[in-house]
Amino acid sequence: MELEAGGRTVRLSSPGKVFFPEDGYTKLDVARYYQAVAPGILRALRERPTTLQRYPDGITGEWFYQKRAPKGMPDWIPTAHITFPSGRSADEMCPTEEAAVLWAAQYGTLTFHPWPVRRDDVDHPDELRIDLDPQPGTDYDDAARAAHELRAVLEEFGGLRGWPKTSGGRGIHVFVPIEPRWTFTQVRRAAIAVGREMERRMPERVTIKWWKEERGERIFIDYNQTARDRTIASAYSVRPRPGAPVSAPLTWDEVGVAHPRDFDITTMPARFAELGDVHAGMDDTRYALDALLELATKDEHDHGLGDLPYPPEYPKMPGEPSRVQPSRARKKAPGPD
């Protein structure tokens, strides 16, 4: 069948293919959902290099991340040339209109993972993204409590405004629009400073420990989500779980009141029709990271708190501590003579 979007026609093959077996939702249901929230997801994706998380045979089939622009992609969808930590590079699609989202849905894309940059400057992020990730023994309500404290931290250090959304699972994401003046390394350093300040304020509830064995039953602030080529599901993206939940933008008054299970491909269209995109004003004001970077410098000079480990697939970075898991490092430590 054919779908209309912004003056373009997108062909949808096998519209009845079931993508969510427990619920019976089809490829057409996913495409219709993206039509309903098109202005919102386009706001989140516009001009951003975007990795596609594809499920050609639905959530119970094989899936993969499509980083390179697919062959046969329409020439009206622009791309950006990006460089990965390995030194390799690729051209990645950059949605600029609603039809690009439907085109991706035709190929089984459920979740869109945009970089925190725009295609005219792929080396300087324009968003600081904070990922509040519940660990075993914690849940969404714990993440919501941490999010409200995070809001206070952001306000205190630079008058920053964060925009919260559900992850589509148990977590919460908070995005801060920033001026594109800092490198990925500097933005990551600011995220670490946020995490350490949160640890000081909520030591029993929040952690920035990279190694899972050290986190305990606390909310993990995943600072490495700000590293180059690490992305977070966009607002309005469908998540590959039973029920077809979506990553839902929230107002701060809704954090801790609304629940992730409230938002899926059947309920979000009605919410969007009533409220529109509650993050529509996100790009109106961009903020500076100076206060957070000053906090990072203070942590380093006053408390000896330097860099933290990068993900394992990254090359060793200057000033980075050992990536050896603490329990393994203890086993390898030499004994007394």
Confidence category of residue 336, pLDDT binned at 50, 70, 90: low
The pTM assigned to this predicted structure is 0.95
Which of 81-95, 149-163, 318-332 has the lowest average pLDDT?
318-332
Mean of pLDDT values over 290-298: 98
How many helices (H) does the chain have, and how many strands (E)?
Answer: 9, 14
Percent of the chain, pLDDT > 70?
98
Cβ-Cβ contacts under 8 Å for 165 (sequence gap 6 or more): 172, 173, 174, 175, 235, 247, 248, 249, 250, 279
Q: Kindly tell me if the per-residue pLDDT of 333 is higher than 70.
A: no
Confidence category of residue 326, pLDDT binned at 50, 70, 90: confident
Q: How many residues does the chain have?
A: 337
Cα 99 vs. chain centroid, distance in angstroms?
A: 22
pLDDT at 328: 83
Provide the token pair at 80.
């950006």
Mean of pLDDT values over 170-185: 98
Q: 238, 246 in Cβ contact below 8 A?
A: yes
Q: Radius of gyration (Cα) for the chain, nearest Å? A: 20
**Element spanning 184, H or E:** helix 184-201
Q: Which residues of 70-103 are buried (b: 16+ CB within 10 A; e: fewer)?
A: eeebeeebbbbebeebeeeeeebbbbbbbbbbbb
Mean pLDDT of the chain: 96
CA distance 165 to 132: 11
